[in-house]
Amino acid sequence: MFGFGVLKGMSVTLWNFILSYIYPKKGITTVQYPEKKKEVEERFRNFPFLVYDGTPDNMRCVACDICAKECPPKCIYIIPEKDAQGRIQKKPATFDIDYAICMNCGICEEVCPFDAIFMDHEYELSEYDRLSDLMYPKEKLLKPVEHFMKIRPTDCGAIEAQRAAKGIKGRAAQVQSAPAATVKPAETQQNPPANA
């Protein structure tokens, strides 16, 4: 009948109003930030971080520069380490990501062939100074693989299983195998192992 649609709609809103008082868990969907925070999803991405196994020296990154090349706004700046003779080592001396430029797209995570860089869940990263405090150097970006397992168990579990299946042991294993290679001086200088 004419007008009953309006009354039906109004009864729905009245029920909403009453429910918000008598049963707030269902009636109110507000999360009172910053006292309470909502749990983020596992695939939530905000800012990247670098993974190390064990100690910060064992970082997985080899300074291949792929993520810096693929980054759309070009916020990653990598300078590889050089040893005493000036040969490039497979480790970054400088790895800077600028939070003011980073657009949180996650492409660096997708293209890294060494499982070194992943997207973190931290979003409360405000600073008072725009230019110096928002530039994250290597030390601030390094986090252990246990942190990775804690925030993204599915992805980390899958990646670790893949690495174990392929027999990738990481930089610690490679450092141990290096002295054995220099014992035979007659051999030509070998390229370092392709998967480190």
Partner 1 sequence: MEASDTIFVAFKKAILGFLQGFLPDWTVVIVSILISITAIAIFGPVTMMYLTWLERKVVGRIQNRYGPNRVGIFGLLQPIADGVKMLTKEDIVPQAADKVTHFLAPVIVVIPALLVFSVLPFGKGMAAVNLNVGLLFFLAISTMSTIAIFMGSWGSRNKFSLLGGMRAVAQMVSYEIPMVMSVVPVILVTGSLSTVSIVEAQLGGKWFVFTPWGFFAAIVFFLCGVAEVNRTPFDLPEGESEIIAGFHTEYSGMKFALFYMAEFMSAFAISGLTATLFFGGWDGPFLPSWVWFLIKAYAMIFIMIWFRGTLPRLRVDQLMGFAWKLLLPFALLNIFVAALWQLLPAPKNLIVAGAAEAVVLVVIFVAARKDSPQKRTYIFAD
Residues forming contacts to partner 1 in the complex (CB under 8 A) are 1-3, 6, 9-10, 12-14, 16-17, 20-21, 27-30
Alpha helix positions (H), 23-106: 24-27, 66-70
CB of 12 to partner 1, least distance (A): 8
Phi, psi values for residue 31, rounded to 5°: -105, 120
Give 24 or 193: the residue with its C-beta nearer to partner 1. Answer: 24
Q: d(Cα 15, Cα 8) in Å, to the nearest integer?
A: 11
Task: Show the CA angle centred on residue 80, arms to residues 78 and 84, nearest 5°.
Answer: 155
CB of 38 to partner 1, least distance (A): 14
Task: Show the CA angle centred on residue 99, arms to residues 135 and 171, nearest 5°.
Answer: 70
CB of 124 to partner 1, least distance (A): 18
Give 10 or 125: the residue with its C-beta nearer to partner 1. Answer: 10
Give 28 or 93: the residue with its C-beta nearer to partner 1. Answer: 28
Q: Which two tokens stand for residue 97?
A: 């990501």
CB of 2 to partner 1, least distance (A): 5
Phi, psi values for residue 35, rounded to 5°: -70, -40
Give 21 or 128: the residue with its C-beta nearer to partner 1. Answer: 21
